Structure 1
Amino acid sequence: MVRVTTTDRRGALRAGAGLVAGGALAGGCSSATGSVAQPAPARATPSRTPAKPTPAKPAPLAAPAPRAFPRQPAQITHGPRDRPRVALTFHGQGDPALAHALLTEAERHGARITVLAVGTWLDEQPDIARRILDGGHDLGNHTQRHVAVNTMSETAARAEITECADRLRRLTGSIGTWFRPSRAPTASPLVVRLARAAGYPHVLSYDVDSLDYTRPGAPAVTRKVLAEVRGGSVVSMHFGYPDTVAALPAVLQELDSRGLHAVTTTELLS
């Protein structure tokens, strides 16, 4: 028979306590049961959705710059009379829906026009500049606020020209192909000089006034234009008037029957 001494009992107790303590330390668990904690499962790496490509920005407009025509005066009223071409020019402001309708009607007939835009109108309708140029039309400067530029001081008149030029440059990359004074058929010598200093070699006037801004009705607009137009003519018309939109098809049809082609002012003089 094996006798167990008091000393042996104490040693066994110490050994058992050591095993329990060792198990607790090894498993990272403070439970009195001494069970060993299982390692935490690895976290799944979330799948990454591929970044969407940034859409390319539209290419900037390649707007034509003003051109000098050496055989033309500083203030142009018409083009060569020996060519079967005319330029329909429009003061650009007013209801944009009428402007879009007029552009569409001109293009339906294969015509190209010239738009002299007011700067404040461009501020309100910035997309109209791209619409005009994308249609193959000329775009120019008709002062910033459409005031009587000939009666203004030199400083104020200069601002009217350059502020509109700045709007055009910001929207199209160019100051536009032409400058036309506001509230007058022709520019004063001072305004001609200021326009040239702003980058416009010529001021664009006209030899046929449709008088559409007096709201005479579409038939009257048509009669007025067709009674006076001939080869080389520059016709003054306006956006913003329903009579003008209504008159345009008849004007273009009659021009075609006479063998006259409606072109941009740049084409008229080239």
Structure 2
Amino acid sequence: MERPDRHPFLIVSGPRSEPRVALTFHGQGDPSLSVRLLSLLEAGGARATVLAVGTWLEEQPQVARRILSGGHELGNHTMHHDDISTLPAEQAFAEIADCAAVLRRLTGSPGRWFRPSQARDCTPALAALARRAGYVHCLGYDLDSLDFTDPGPATITRTVLDGVRSGSVVSLHLGHPGTVTAVPAILDGLRARALQPVTMSELID
């Protein structure tokens, strides 16, 4: 696991002075949609960060390899995607640690990033559990695409492009057809704004 560095534990955005953004995806759902989305990102010269659900990775281990082979980054979004803030401490810890174990088994690393399930930010209690599991960062976001509500690709695109700026960390989801359809237009809009989509590590390091 990464050693503590100069960045804060909770990260919700990157430097505003650099023309880069991070597209981050909550990872679960139809694997064929995920592969199609990854291919669209790559065709557009973009790299993303996927925070994956452990049970999804266990069912679709090939997706973990596909994410990494495309130059994207893979992190922890808990084992079962329950509302982690409502769980007893030891159960919440197991959600983080069990997903980390799956990531380590499939890729050799638990990933740099932890994002709590069904919660935007880490509470102090969750932060303590994530640190106990070995994570030195909790990944939030400053721009929510609301794509999980399936508002349609045009609305997803507009929400992202209306709110994005240098350093933005955008929350998106795998497994939603509208998000897949929106990706080319989002990438075109970022390009028009001279913003490069990069992984979270590239955004902050």
Aligned length: 205
Structure 1 residues 205-256: Cα deviation after superposition (integer angstroms, max 9, x where no partner) = 0000000000100000000001111000000000000000000100001101
Contact 1:208–1:229, Cα closer than 8 Å, also in 2: yes
Q: Root-mean-square deviation (CA), in Å?
A: 0.9
SS in 1 for 2:75: strand
Q: Which 4+ stretches in 1 moved above 4 angstroms?
A: none
1:226 to 147, 161, 177: 161
Counterpart for residue 269 of structure 1: 204
Query: How far off is 1:69 after superposition?
Result: 3.6
Counterpart for residue 175 of structure 1: 110
Structure 1 residues 46-83: Cα deviation after superposition (integer angstroms, max 9, x where no partner) = xxxxxxxxxxxxxxxxxxx546441x221110000000
State how far apart, in whole Å, the 2-side matches of 1:73 and 1:66 are: 13
Check if 1:162 corresponds to 2:97: yes
SS in 2 for 1:136: coil
Counterpart for residue 194 of structure 1: 129
Counterpart for residue 75 of structure 2: 140
State the AA in 2 paired with 1:263. V
State how far apart, in whole Å, the 1-side matches of 2:158 and 2:5 are: 32
- Please give the TM-score of this superposition, normalised by the length of structure 2: 0.98
Higher-Rg member (1/2): 1
State how far apart, in whole Å, the 2-side matches of 1:156 and 1:126 are: 24
1:20-31 to 2 correspondences below 5 Å: none
SS in 2 for 1:191: helix
State how far apart, in whole Å, the 2-side matches of 1:192 and 1:184 are: 12
Counterpart for residue 8 of structure 1: none
1:221-260 to 2 correspondences below 5 Å: 221-260=156-195
Structure 1 residues 72-101: Cα deviation after superposition (integer angstroms, max 9, x where no partner) = 221110000000000000000000000000
SS in 1 for 2:36: helix
Long gaps (5+) in structure 1? 1-64
Counterpart for residue 35 of structure 1: none
Contact 2:21–2:203, Cα closer than 8 Å, also in 1: yes
1:121 to 42, 56, 63: 56
Counterpart for residue 146 of structure 2: 211
Check if 1:184 corresponds to 2:119: yes
Relative to 1, partners in 2 of residues 1:66 and 1:216: Cα closer, same or farther, differing over 3 Å?
A: farther
SS in 2 for 1:236: strand
State how far apart, in whole Å, the 2-side matches of 1:186 and 1:154 are: 17
State how far apart, in whole Å, the 1-side matches of 2:163 and 2:187 are: 14
SS in 1 for 2:97: helix
State the AA in 2 paired with 1:242. P
Higher RCO (CA-CA < 8 Å; seq separation 6+)? 2
State how far apart, in whole Å, the 2-side matches of 1:177 and 1:91 are: 15
Relative to 1, partners in 2 of residues 1:265 and 1:178: Cα closer, same or farther, differing over 3 Å?
A: same
State the AA in 1 paired with 2:21. V
State the AA in 2 paired with 1:149. I
1:42-121 to 2 correspondences below 5 Å: 65-66=1-2, 68-70=4-6, 72-121=7-56
Contact 2:141–2:171, Cα closer than 8 Å, also in 1: yes
State how far apart, in whole Å, the 2-side matches of 1:217 and 1:67 are: 41
